[in-house]
Amino acid sequence: MQRVFKVTAMLLISMVSYKVQSQTGSGTEDKINSLIKKMTIEEKVGMIHANSSFTSAGVPRLGIPELVTSDGPHGVRLEHGRGWSDAKNVNDSGTYLPVGVALASTWNPSLGFAFGEVLGSEAKYRGKNVILGPGINIMRSPLNGRNFEYQSEDPFLVSKMVVGYIKGVQSQGVSACVKHFIANNEEVDRGTVDVEMSERTLREIYLPGFKAAVMDAGVHTIMGAYNKFRGQFCTHNEYLVNKIMKGEWGFKGVLMSDWGAVHNTMDALNYGTDLEMGSDIGTHPMKFPKFYLGDTVVALVKSGKVPESIIDEKVRRILRVLYKSSAFSKTSPGEYGSEAHIATAKKVAEESIVLLKNENILPLNLNTIKSIAVIGANADRKNSMGGGSSQVKALYEITPLAGLKNMAKDVVFNCADGYKIERNAIATPEMIAEAVDAAKKSDVAIVIGGWTHGYSKSWSDNAFDAEGVDKPNMKMPFGQDELIKAVVAANPNTIVVLLGGGPIDMTQWVGNTKGIIEAWYGGMEGGNALAEVIFGKVNPSGKLPVTFPKVLEDVPAHKFGDFPGKNGVAVYREGIFVGYRYYDTYNVEPQFAFGHGLSYTSFAYKDLKVTKGDNNVVTATFTITNTGKVSGGEVAQLYVHKEKSAIERAEKELKGFQKVFLQPNESKTVTITLDKTAFQYYNETKMAWDMEAGRYSIQVGTSSRKILLNEVLNL
Ligand code: BGC
């Protein structure tokens, strides 16, 4: 009874706030209400749970189509039809974009929009209403197997990139689905782990990306995470969903479950799940009615135990999404694997590559280099189908080796596998000898290594970057340390190219290696983009969206908190000190800092002026000049530091950035505006955002550790 009351009260609140803040026009809302009036309870319930692997039912009698979804964050997933077996004879080879962490390392929100446009257009072409991305979980530990799909350790960078992506998808008449709400930060026990964190940590670190998705981008759908938060599953979590997402943020779209993430009918009804997706019961269609939001709900409503209005509210939200996702009328067909889409994939890949270290070795000069040793099993390996639900059937995929060969037609390539991609394999003496031999007889050696998605029989096979898997540690797998050391000793002109979803321990060889590049998983054009950076056709402009610590032991989640959870609970004891917030506050020197990324040119920063307007709006202006010989892109980063804070605070926090492209000798004035939120922290006593009065310094630089300009102001 109490529960029914709670449900009714929730409904009233949401009806009132709905009048205030409607996301669809009132004409559409009228149509939706009139459709709901005509529907039977069975028809309504059919709409709130899956009826195949990626769809939920429509009501054909009323002209309501099914809601059709598809993964995933960096391409439209291959067609699985109504079950899970790959569909035959369908055109499902399309654009394979660079992964989420690569997109974030461009630090270019306009590329976020372009990326989203490609996805939206391809999803529409493939008849999908919802694309299940972006994934924006905070990179709390380098070991999380899905970091490659996500964006950053920093909530501000996530918030800026996610808005472009979502607006891009939704500009095509397709809905985005931001996921996984929230704290799905480990994979091994994602279905059971209960996450505990302070309110301040929740508000400052883990929620801002989702809040921006709702309030700045107007995302139409959100996917709940598998895990629990403070004892309740995230997909039906009274505090997270009812109070924050639908209450404080006024979200009017659909909260769908992750696949199989609903655990209880009454909780799902009460605490905000609008759509139960999944396949855990099996793929036979007769089993879908047995979902938690299936037949049981019909019986509960018919017996008067649950008011029908609860179901109406969920159906209303689904209908809103259908209206916004070209389900009733399609304005354009969308495009698939088009030249323009591939060009966007290439552009993102180019801007995502991060030049980590360069001791006068890069770019390579095509006029003088006669031979290159390309070493590593990753060099000619395709990645599009790896990683789990984000797998994409690429129209084609240019591997690093193929990219190098495309550009260096007259160069002799001496190739060696170097290592074997098998979980516990170690580079054998024979493999190392072969690699050393190739390195010795070449002008330059390029080792292509790092992490791997895995995938031969199943996506978790030999995987390090994949769904359902976390990395066992941060050490290079497959004996790559020994290999790189031997190659560097054999040929000092060695460049290491890392693929993967984030940090790896480089301590054994970083000091002696002249050139190091982070290339992530660069999508279908990744190999061409990499070659263009290596040979200087493209000047690298990517910056790390995540700190690369030296060793795993330095990572705050591992030093203080639980990773993974212990006895079913993960306590985030490191609190707000995630990533550079920890390394910079506690003076732990990282291998490569958050925001770091080199260029083939140089930039000078000068003339920082900071002015204060009304409501603590602060404007910072400064000038950047390209002082080198080639054109290039730079990401100017603005951090805020509070002097003499009375509360525990990070040394600095990113609150603004801008990417600029400059010709040699060209200068540009950059203006960054900071509103009051740039200076606020979450006050747990008041349970509200708050601001300390006093002196703040505005720090401008090229990474969290390389601050070049600094001005102080009183607020
Ligand atoms: C993943 C989601 C994905 C869904 C559908 C789940 O296992 O966690 O990210 O969208 O499957 O494939």
With beta carbons less than 8 A apart as the criterion, state whether 548 and 390 touch.
Answer: no
Which atom of ligand 1 is nearest the CA belonging to 77?
Answer: 12
- Of the listed ranges 229-233, 326-330, 382-386, 448-452, the one predicted with least confidence: 326-330
Which atom of ligand 1 is nearest the CA belonging to 132?
Answer: 10
Which atom of ligand 1 is nearest the CA belonging to 149?
Answer: 9
Can you give the pLDDT at residue 459? 62
Given a cut of 50, whether residue 98 has pLDDT beyond it is yes
- Going from the Cα of 145 to the center of ligand 1, the distance in angstroms, rounded, reads 14
When pLDDT is cut at 50, 70 and 90, the band that residue 281 belongs to is: low
Tell me, using a 6 A CB cutoff, whether residue 227 lines ligand 1: no
Domain assignment present for residue 587? The answer is no
Domain assignment present for residue 331? The answer is no
Q: Is 197 helix (H, G, I), strand (E, B) or coil?
A: coil
- Of the listed ranges 14-18, 208-212, 224-228, 458-462, the one predicted with least confidence: 14-18
Domain assignment present for residue 204? The answer is yes
Nearest CA owner, ligand 1 atom 8: 258
Tell me, using a 6 A CB cutoff, whether residue 516 lines ligand 1: no
Place of tokens 């290596």: 534
CATH value at residue 629: 2.60.40.10
Residues 389 and 302 in one domain: no
Q: Distance between the two ends of the chain, CA-based, in angstroms?
A: 51
User: pLDDT (tens digit, 9 = 90+) per residue, 665-676?
Assistant: 999 999 999 999
**271-285 average pLDDT score:** 84
What is the token pair recorded at 382? Answer: 């395709």
With beta carbons less than 8 A apart as the criterion, state whether 316 and 39 touch.
Answer: no
- Going from the Cα of 611 to the center of ligand 1, the distance in angstroms, rounded, reads 46
Given a cut of 50, whether residue 10 has pLDDT beyond it is no
Domain assignment present for residue 572? The answer is no
Domain assignment present for residue 296? The answer is yes
Can you give the pLDDT at residue 24? 66
Which atom of ligand 1 is nearest the CA belonging to 71?
Answer: 10
Residues 358 and 315 in one domain: no
Residues 178 and 284 in one domain: yes
- Going from the Cα of 618 to the center of ligand 1, the distance in angstroms, rounded, reads 41
CATH value at residue 200: 3.20.20.300
CA pair distance 229, 185, nearest whole angstrom: 12
Tell me, using a 6 A CB cutoff, whether residue 270 lines ligand 1: no
Domain assignment present for residue 607? The answer is yes
682 forms beta bridges with: 689
Residues 130 and 277 in one domain: yes
**413-417 average pLDDT score:** 98
Can you give the pLDDT at residue 9? 42
User: pLDDT (tens digit, 9 = 90+) per residue, 321-379?
Assistant: 999 999 998 778 999 999 999 999 999 999 999 999 999 999 999 999 999 999 999 99
Residues 271 and 395 in one domain: no
**Which residue among 67, 180, 258 has the greatest number of ligand 1 atoms within 8 angstroms of its CB, and so is best to mutate?**
258
- Final residue before a domain boundary, out of 546, 576, 593: 546
Domain assignment present for residue 624? The answer is yes
With beta carbons less than 8 A apart as the criterion, state whether 471 and 450 touch.
Answer: no
What is the token pair recorded at 430? Answer: 């024979």
Residues 643 and 501 in one domain: no
Domain count, the chain: 3
- Going from the Cα of 575 to the center of ligand 1, the distance in angstroms, rounded, reads 27
Tell me, using a 6 A CB cutoff, whether residue 703 lines ligand 1: no
- Of the listed ranges 2-16, 427-441, 457-471, 599-613, the one predicted with least confidence: 2-16
- Going from the Cα of 542 to the center of ligand 1, the distance in angstroms, rounded, reads 28
Tell me, using a 6 A CB cutoff, whether residue 181 lines ligand 1: no
Tell me, using a 6 A CB cutoff, whether residue 258 lines ligand 1: yes
Residues 371 and 274 in one domain: no
Tell me, using a 6 A CB cutoff, whether residue 187 lines ligand 1: no
Given a cut of 50, whether residue 201 has pLDDT beyond it is yes
Question: Where in the sequence numbering do the catalytic residues fall?
Answer: 258
- Going from the Cα of 120 to the center of ligand 1, the distance in angstroms, rounded, reads 18
- CA distances from residue 510 to 485, 488, 513 in whole angstroms, order as listed: 9, 10, 5
User: pLDDT (tens digit, 9 = 90+) per residue, 254-265?
Assistant: 999 999 999 999
Tell me, using a 6 A CB cutoff, whether residue 71 lines ligand 1: yes
The more confident residue out of 18 and 158 is 158
Residues 36 and 175 in one domain: yes
- Going from the Cα of 298 to the center of ligand 1, the distance in angstroms, rounded, reads 27
Residues 314 and 375 in one domain: no
Nearest CA owner, ligand 1 atom 9: 389
Nearest CA owner, ligand 1 atom 7: 259
CA pair distance 224, 182, nearest whole angstrom: 7
Domain assignment present for residue 668? The answer is yes
Nearest CA owner, ligand 1 atom 6: 259
* Contacts of residue 303, Cβ cutoff 8 Å, sequence gap at least 6: none
Can you give the pLDDT at residue 280? 64
- Final residue before a domain boundary, out of 527, 546, 565: 546
- Going from the Cα of 663 to the center of ligand 1, the distance in angstroms, rounded, reads 44
**Which residue among 79, 86, 132 has the greatest number of ligand 1 atoms within 8 angstroms of its CB, and so is best to mutate?**
132
Tell me, using a 6 A CB cutoff, whether residue 179 lines ligand 1: yes
CA pair distance 712, 618, nearest whole angstrom: 11
- Going from the Cα of 223 to the center of ligand 1, the distance in angstroms, rounded, reads 9
- Going from the Cα of 259 to the center of ligand 1, the distance in angstroms, rounded, reads 6
Can you give the pLDDT at residue 458? 67
CA pair distance 305, 307, nearest whole angstrom: 7
Given a cut of 50, whether residue 140 has pLDDT beyond it is yes
Residues 45 and 144 in one domain: yes
Nearest to 45 by CA among 55, 58, 29, 60: 58
* Contacts of residue 439, Cβ cutoff 8 Å, sequence gap at least 6: 373, 375, 414, 445, 487, 490, 491, 494
- CA distances from residue 552 to 116, 245, 503, 509 in whole angstroms, order as listed: 33, 34, 9, 16
Tell me, using a 6 A CB cutoff, whether residue 317 lines ligand 1: no
- Final residue before a domain boundary, out of 546, 570, 592: 546
**Which residue among 148, 259, 469 has the greatest number of ligand 1 atoms within 8 angstroms of its CB, and so is best to mutate?**
259
State the pairing for strand pair 653-662/632-642.
Answer: antiparallel
- Going from the Cα of 512 to the center of ligand 1, the distance in angstroms, rounded, reads 41
Given a cut of 80, whether residue 4 has pLDDT beyond it is no
**Which residue among 179, 234, 389 has the greatest number of ligand 1 atoms within 8 angstroms of its CB, and so is best to mutate?**
389
Nearest CA owner, ligand 1 atom 4: 259
Nearest CA owner, ligand 1 atom 3: 389
**515-536 average pLDDT score:** 98
Tell me, using a 6 A CB cutoff, whether residue 389 lines ligand 1: yes
**Which residue among 53, 71, 180, 277 has the greatest number of ligand 1 atoms within 8 angstroms of its CB, and so is best to mutate?**
71
CA pair distance 162, 152, nearest whole angstrom: 11
Nearest to 169 by CA among 102, 212, 124, 208: 124
Residues 209 and 278 in one domain: yes
**410-416 average pLDDT score:** 98
Range of the domain at 686: 603-714
DSSP 448-495: EEE-----SSSTTTT-SSSTT---S-SSPGGGHHHHHHHHHHH-S-EE
Helix H or strand E segment including 178: strand 175-181
Residues 421 and 507 in one domain: yes
